[in-house]
A = this chain, B = another copy of it.
Amino acid sequence: MTALNRFPELGVPDRAALDALLDSQWAGVLSCAVDGEPLAVPMLYARDGDRILLHGSTGAGALRHVATGASAVLTVFTLDALVVAPTTFESSVNYRSATVRGRLDTVEDRERALDLFSDEIIPGRIDEVRRPSRRELAATEVLSLPIAEGSWLLKVASGWPATPEEAGADPAVWSGVVPVRRVLDQPVPAPWASDLAVPPSVRSLLDQRGTTDGPGPD
């Protein structure tokens, strides 16, 4: 662990790190300005190369106000640790956040988008279920936001808190970090699926993303 990044707002110009953050999260907040007022909607997203696909369902309200061509910002945030400093003033959190700014566009290839969203939630699930119907594709609304050079900002706060000397604090006061982590618990079958085996897609996701001995059968 390195020293605390004291100026996370300056940003980290590392596209691979941006992609890694975006790919590790499921949801973000889409912000737009409508008639001079801010509009904010939490949304699922999936990165598709140099663009981000945003998922909604037609008429669901979330996207109703957001026209194609609207200027938007997607914010993705993850908290990595609580930073326990030797003073309250220096106490903070370690985090990574990304803002991607651009104009929204509609996505015509909804079938591909639906596959990407499915893979974003449960990789490999598309091989276990039927293909989307024409009616389902018609009811799926997908917007895209480009990831263009100069249009995104990755902020990273990491490392240790200020030292007792830097903080002007008692050196006998403990300080350090408390890592924060998101884990998946054991899957819980729907009532009608309790006799069925947990499918490979779900099992391999749990193998990869940190299962714990939390609640749930199996």
- Chain A residues at the B interface, C-beta cutoff of 8 Å: 1, 9, 26-27, 29, 31-33, 36-42, 44, 60-62, 71-73, 75, 77, 79, 82-84, 86-89, 91-93, 95, 97, 99, 114-115, 117-118, 121-122, 125-126, 128-130, 132-133, 136, 139-140, 160-161, 163-164, 168-193, 196-199, 201-202, 205-206, 212, 214-216
- The answer to whether A60 touches B9, judged by C-beta atoms less than 8 angstroms apart, is yes
Residues B205 and A178 in contact, CB atoms below 8 Å apart: yes
Given the complex, which residues of B lie within 8 Å of A190, measured CB to CB? 160-161, 163, 175-177
Q: B42 to A214, Cβ gap below 8 A?
A: no
For the complex of A and B, 7 pairs with smallest distance between CB atoms: A33-B33, A31-B31, A88-B118, A89-B136, A179-B185, A176-B189, A31-B40
* CB proximity of A68 to chain B, nearest CB, Å: 16
Copies of this polypeptide in the complex: 2
Q: Are B214 and A133 neighbours in the complex by a CB distance under 8 Å?
A: no
A132 / chain B contacts, CB cutoff of 8 Å: 87-89
Report which of B73, B115, B122, B129 forms a contact with A40, defined as CB distance below 8 A: B73
- Please name the residue on chain B nearest to A216 by beta carbon: B179
Contact between A88 and B129, CB atoms less than 8 A apart: yes
Q: Which of B115, B125, B176, B181 contacts A214 (CB 8 A)?
A: B181
Main secondary structure of the interface of A (DSSP, over half): mixed
Contact: B173 with A129, CB < 8 Å? yes
- Known contacts A29-B40, A38-B73; 12 additional CB pairs below 8 A are A9-B62, A38-B72, A40-B73, A44-B93, A84-B202, A88-B118, A89-B132, A93-B121, A174-B198, A174-B199, A178-B205, A180-B184
From the candidates B163, B164, B202, name the one contacting A178 in the complex (CB within 8 A). B202
What are 20 A-B interface contacts by the 8 Å CB criterion? A29-B31, A29-B75, A33-B36, A36-B71, A39-B73, A42-B95, A82-B205, A83-B121, A84-B201, A87-B130, A88-B117, A160-B190, A163-B192, A164-B192, A176-B193, A177-B190, A178-B205, A178-B206, A181-B182, A182-B183
